Amino acid sequence: MTSTLPPIVQAFSGAIGSASANALTYPLDLVVTRLQLDSPVRSKERGGIYGAKLILGHILKKHGWRALYDGLWPDTFATVLSNFFYFYFYSFLRTLSTKRLITLGPSNPKSNPLKPHKPSLLEELVLGFIAGVASRVISTPLNIVTLRLQTEREDEEKIGSDSTNIKGVSDVVKLIYKEQGLGGFWRGFKTTTLLSLNPSITLAFLQMFRRICSILKSASPAQIRSEGLVSALKHCKVNPNQNMHPWEAFFGAAASNSIAVFLLYPLILAKTRLQVSSSTTMSQVLVDAYYGKDPSPNQEEKEESKREVGIEGLYQGSQMKIIKGFLSQGVTFLVKGRIEQLIVAAYLRRRGAIA
């Protein structure tokens, strides 16, 4: 986390930051979804940034700029809910951990019970994972509705429709319930649960980045040159109340999220395909991706979609996902940090006026 403010403040600022980032990067999210569900054969020919450019051009030319925001409102609502509860649960659990009210790692009998506990990297991952699972239970139904809205125009094109009968949110909700029942709104949730590691890995690396920033600010340049950065990490004290500058939060969060996305991308791909395909298991989806099977093949593409593409198939659309995540997480923590600064400044002004 980037601050030591109360959980409700972090939840509010994180939700506003994520909503801002989602509105700015949503067209990229739509493109990522199209790339993930594209034919592996076409993906090899037009993958990455070039493929994203082609998809954006096609959408703009055929449907206009409004089509770039298909599903924006339910996705933004899902993002706000997910991030609000994630930041709240995470900061609340971390507060309990620092006060030693809960213990996730091995306890040290020599530690001072009066001194705030600094969670280890493993504890950061566990705290983030628990918070991620809790928040995704709430946001997954809206994510599935968004996915249907994002792919609706492409599905209409595949069956030869003129794409004029575009459904709204309520129509999609009724269709999902009719096809799969109530469980359809949590389709692929097992994979989604594993993906709760994504924000936990992001925040774990962000905490490392925050500590390095704190050390660099507290250690003198002469000390770093004489002892080296590694020695400084060992001997310098981290100020737990020293928050990152918003731009430090931007680059720290963006880089941390890029690492998390790269490590977990096969699961991200599997989650998207599980929610729209007839496959019922994550392992089957991953095997299909490895062997280059089209997640929704047309009649003409069935033969060519049998080509083996290997590991590359598990990372189909990953370049744009990393770019989108870099920008989205960066903006989220940039806005979050700025809002927290404004809240602290307003509190100090009010306190000064009362005094």
Identify the pLDDT of residue 63: 83
Q: How far apart are CA 326 and CA 304, in angstroms?
A: 34
Q: How does pLDDT run across 16-48, given as a tens digit for each residue?
A: 988 899 889 989 888 888 888 887 766 665 667
Q: Is the pLDDT of residue 232 over 70?
A: no
Least confident of 19-28, 91-100, 240-249, 284-293: 240-249
Least confident of 13-22, 161-170, 211-220: 161-170
Neighbours of 307 (CB within 10 A): 13
Q: Is the pLDDT of residue 307 over 70?
A: no
CA atoms within 13 A on the CB side of 248: 18
Identify the pLDDT of residue 310: 79
Q: Is the pLDDT of residue 1 over 50?
A: no
Q: Name the DSSP class of 160.
A: T
Identify the pLDDT of residue 240: 47
Which domains can be identified in the chain, with CATH numbers?
7-354 (1.50.40.10)
Q: How far apart are CA 300 and CA 229, in angstroms?
A: 59
Least confident of 41-45, 275-279, 282-286, 312-316: 41-45
Q: What are the backbone angles phi and psi of residue 185, rounded to the nearest 5°?
A: -80, -10
Handedness of CA 168, 142, 314, 251 (dihedral sign): positive
